[in-house]
Amino acid sequence: MKRTVPLLITAVVGFTLIGAYFVPYTQSWGETVAIWFDVLAAIAFILGGGNLLRSHLKKISDQQRGWAYSIIVLASFLGTLFVGLGKIGVAPSPQFLEYSWSGPYRQTGSAFWYFYQYAFQPLTSTIFALLAFYIASAAFRAFRAKNLEAILLLATAFIVLLGRTFAGVALTGWIDPANWEGFRHFTGLRLENLTVYIMAVFNTAGNRAIMIGIALGIVATSLKILIGVDRSYLGKD
């Protein structure tokens, strides 16, 4: 009972939606279900939030290593939640002054905006900016000509990188019909044109094959789930 019903639900819902794609009247079922999913994911926040609270409270009560930082996590989590849900500092919208809760929760100047502007935004964009450092260390460590494939990877990256600087353009700027008529056939070898050619031909072909492979992988994976061959996500009997 605990496992057969869920498997039945998955199969029925899955095949219905596949069929719905072919019947003109029911083609919009896909979007409706997507909206339902958003609602379900929003409700599930309670589980996630609950787990966050429980694991950090446990870390504090057990005085595990780094419990002081858990206090900071809980303080900022509950602070943001309180300020956001309570629309603290949000003025009601001009047309509906008498409805105190009508103002947008992200209103500039409100407390929630303050948390976003001076904590959320700087922190996330700075973590994102770490990528520039990691790209440099990855370039030094990973781009070594160990075998033919690594040489192709490194050579292409090298050409594209060079092609995007003025040095690259200057390096092969001499391949110019103005200098010698014969160069007319070789302008394709100029670095920036080479980059264009690599992106337009090799990148297109490579990405197409990967996308075709992914589509086939998804067909097989979805089918295995719908007919119950793969049911690990359902847990124990």
Q: Contacts with another protein in 124-153 (CB under 8 A)?
A: 124-146, 148-150, 152-153
2 near another protein (CB under 8 A): yes
Binding to another protein in span 85-124, by CB under 8 A: 85, 91, 93-97, 99, 101-102, 105, 108-109, 112, 114-124
Q: Please, is 211 exposed, middle or buried when counting C-beta atoms within 10 Å of its C-beta (0-12, 13-18, 19+)?
A: exposed
The number of C-alpha atoms within 13 Å of 204 and in the hemisphere containing its C-beta is 7
**Cα–Cα distance for residue pair 106/120, rounded to 1 Å:** 13
Residue from 61, 88, 161, 180 that binds another protein (CB under 8 A)?
161
**Cα–Cα distance for residue pair 204/174, rounded to 1 Å:** 29
43 near another protein (CB under 8 A): yes
**Cα–Cα distance for residue pair 150/144, rounded to 1 Å:** 7
182 near another protein (CB under 8 A): no
Q: Which is nearer to another protein, 51 or 61 (CB)?
A: 51
Binding to another protein in span 18-37, by CB under 8 A: 18, 21-25, 27, 30, 32-37
73 near another protein (CB under 8 A): yes
**Cα–Cα distance for residue pair 139/145, rounded to 1 Å:** 12
